[in-house]
Amino acid sequence: MESGSLERHLFRRTDCSLTWSKRMRIALGAAKGLAFLHGAGRPVIYRDFKSSNVLLDAVIHLSPLLFNVISFRLDLDFNAKLSDFGLAKDGPMGDQTHVSTRVMGTHGYAAPEYVMTGHLTAKSDVYGFGVVLLELLIGRRVMDKGKLGPERNLVEWARPLLNHKKKLIKILDPKMEGQFSPRSALKVAHLAYLCLSENPKGRPLMSQVVECLETIQVKDINQEEALLLQGSRHGVGTVNEVPRKSPRTTTRKRNPNRSESYKDGCKQRNEPGKGRSQSEPPTKVHLSEPSTSEAEDKVENVAEVSSKRIT
């Protein structure tokens, strides 16, 4: 395949180009492949599902140029394809519950009940898929000799943390930071938790895995479209957009016909020492009592009226 294997892209030493959406697309494509094998008229058990057996394709676009020269562009679509069916085995038929066979496969990806008893079922592939799904989430190999203690085995170390939101965010691949919603990550992690169950009866069918991943992918696409639509509505104006005029504040025009006494009063208030200082507390004015100047004017008016009556 043009893009190589999932193992090559996921564990390469250089920067990983697998985003969250690409990883979910790969997981969904691989799940559909296993579901197709399990749902056939004669079920087929893959038996050796691992990241190196998941191949990724690419699309080559050809465009003619001058002088009969053809240029091409390689687009990495990362559609998953299953490869290496050398260990595939026919599944149980009729009343059979399992197929007894010699234990073969890759350490870390084989289901524990298959390793211990040699009983092979379709749920053995579900366990291997859960391991690959966990590698996609964490970004680490299932068996890492460079780690010490429990982290050397990815399943034993990470599976107890998959159902805890805060702990899960800490162990997810940091290369996917900001590319997913915590709710989607928790759903995928819970799906991996079920696939990695030690009890085969507790694992889902691959058809159920496909349905779950399709639902998560549709929700992620709808969320991305909603964010893009929201950004276009509240985005910054373009260069050709005419800027809006800012509203003018209305200013009061000065009255040129003000009296000279008003102007003299303003001058006296502006002179130092004439007005009230900033530290001086304002005088309280009671609305029920007139000021002293108004009271004096009233007294003078009353005196004038009484004098006229006497005369």
Domain-wise residue ranges, the chain: 6-224
Confidence of residue 45 (pLDDT cuts 50, 70, 90): very high
The predicted-structure confidence for 48-79, as pLDDT tens digits, reads as follows 999 999 998 865 545 555 555 554 444 456 78
pLDDT given at position 20: 93
* Residue at token pair 């079922």: 121
Structure tokens, 246: 């800012």
Percent of the chain with pLDDT strictly greater than 70: 63
Phi, psi angle pair for 25, to nearest 5°? -65, -40
CB atoms within 10 A of CB 76: 15
The predicted-structure confidence for 221-273, as pLDDT tens digits, reads as follows 777 667 667 666 655 444 344 444 445 555 555 666 655 665 566 556 555 55
The 3-class secondary structure across the chain, one letter per residue, is CCCCEHHHHHCCCCCCCCCHHHHHHHHHHHHHHHHHHHCCCCCEECCCCCHHHEEECCEEEEEECHHHCEEEEEECCCCEEECCCCCCEECCCCCCCCEECCCCCCCCCCCHHHHHHCEECHHHHHHHHHHHHHHHHHCCCCECCCCCHHHHEHHHHHHHHCCCHHHHHHHCCHHHCCCCCHHHHHHHHHHHHHHCCCCHHHCCCHHHHHHHHHHHHHHHHHHHHHHHHHHHHCCCCCCCCCCCCCCCCCCCCCCCCCCHHHHHHHHHHHCCCCCCCCCCCCCCCCCCCCCHHHHHHHHHHHHHHHHHHHC
* Higher local confidence (pLDDT), 256 or 10: 10
pLDDT given at position 287: 40
* Higher local confidence (pLDDT), 186 or 250: 186
Pick the CATH number of 6-224 from 3.50.50.60, 1.10.510.10, 3.40.50.2020, 3.40.50.300: 1.10.510.10
pLDDT given at position 7: 87
Cα(19)–Cα(77) distance, rounded to whole angstroms?
Answer: 12
Give the range among 93-97, 140-144, 183-187 with minimum mean pLDDT. 93-97
Cβ atoms of 192 and 160 within 8 Å: the answer is no
Just list the catalytic residues. Answer: 48
The predicted-structure confidence for 288-301, as pLDDT tens digits, reads as follows 444 444 554 554 55
Question: Can you give the pTM of this predicted structure?
Answer: 0.68
Phi, psi angle pair for 38, to nearest 5°? -75, -25
